[in-house]
Amino acid sequence: MNVKSIFSFKGSPTSIAVKTSILVVAALIGTGAVTQGASATLDSISYNSTPQSISSGTLKFDTPTAVTGSSGFTATFANMNPGDTRTVGIEYTNSGTNGGIGLALSAGVAASNNLSSDASRGLQVVVSSCTVAWTYPAGTCGGTATTVIATSLNALVSASANGIAFTGITSLAGAGTILHLQFAVGLPNATNNEVWINGGIQNGQVIPGYGTAGATPAGGTITGLTSSVTWVLRERQATGVTTNG
């Protein structure tokens, strides 16, 4: 037997040892990569030790209230004649944290009739703002008064949720701001010409000693009607802004 041929090696013992060491190192690196996953080998973290406070604001009106001396919206305007005007003093408090813009008024009625559906003969509405609370029962403004709405009840009802925008007031400040308003409601005089004869509305008949009573008003009578009105005041949030802290 040729012993030398059985234990024959290519290369020197030194080169074999080097190759073996390389394989071992490669195996260790591979094992480390598997256990560490995809994380970085170095991490650095910084954070604020005091948490930053971030909150959202509120935009809201409280239920409208009457000024001292006025019955407010609980007042009943009964038996109005053409040319009559009735007023109430109302205050709206902005109890939210933020101010608002785009003040607008609309109205709703329980049942429509000529008081709310006839734009020319029906109820007319004027809303005025005062820089201080309105004085009642005199119904006067001790500061500066501004007319913010002058239109028909029909227009306010037709405006629906969008409302009719205020004029003269474009914005409202934040928490605790009070809007001092006076609502004046009246029946126009010049456009309401009716004659009632023997308990009935005119129909063009000739009356001795009087003459012709004229035709029944187009659209029907404006008298003897009742309208229950809900006044809706709306404000919108101000346009978003960027503030540098």
> Any idea which of 23-37, 72-86, 209-223 has the lowest mean pLDDT?
23-37
pLDDT tens, position by position, 125-150: 999 999 999 999 999 999 999 999 99
Rounded CA gap, 223 and 195, in Å?
Answer: 11
Helix, strand, coil percentages (3-state) for the chain, rounded to 5, are 20, 30, 50
Three-class secondary structure of residue 134 per DSSP = strand
pLDDT of residue 223: 92
Residue 124 confidence class, pLDDT cut points 50, 70, 90: very high
DSSP annotation of 64 reads P
- Find out whether 60 and 176 touch, Cβ atoms under 8 Å: no
Q: What is the CB-side half-sphere exposure of residue 51 using CA atoms within 13 A? A: 3
CA Rg, the chain, in Å? 42
- Find out whether 194 and 221 touch, Cβ atoms under 8 Å: yes
Tell me the pairing of strands 145-152 and 164-165. Answer: unpaired
The answer on pLDDT for 62 being more than 50 is yes
pTM, rounded to two decimals: 0.79
pLDDT tens, position by position, 160-214: 889 999 999 988 888 889 999 999 999 998 778 888 899 998 888 899 999 998 8
Cis peptide before 137 (omega within 30 of 0): yes
Give the residues across from 88 on adjacent strands: 183
pLDDT of residue 9: 41
Rounded CA gap, 201 and 196, in Å?
Answer: 4
For residue 147, what is the enclosing H or E element?
strand 145-152
Three-class secondary structure of residue 185 per DSSP = strand
Rounded CA gap, 210 and 200, in Å?
Answer: 16
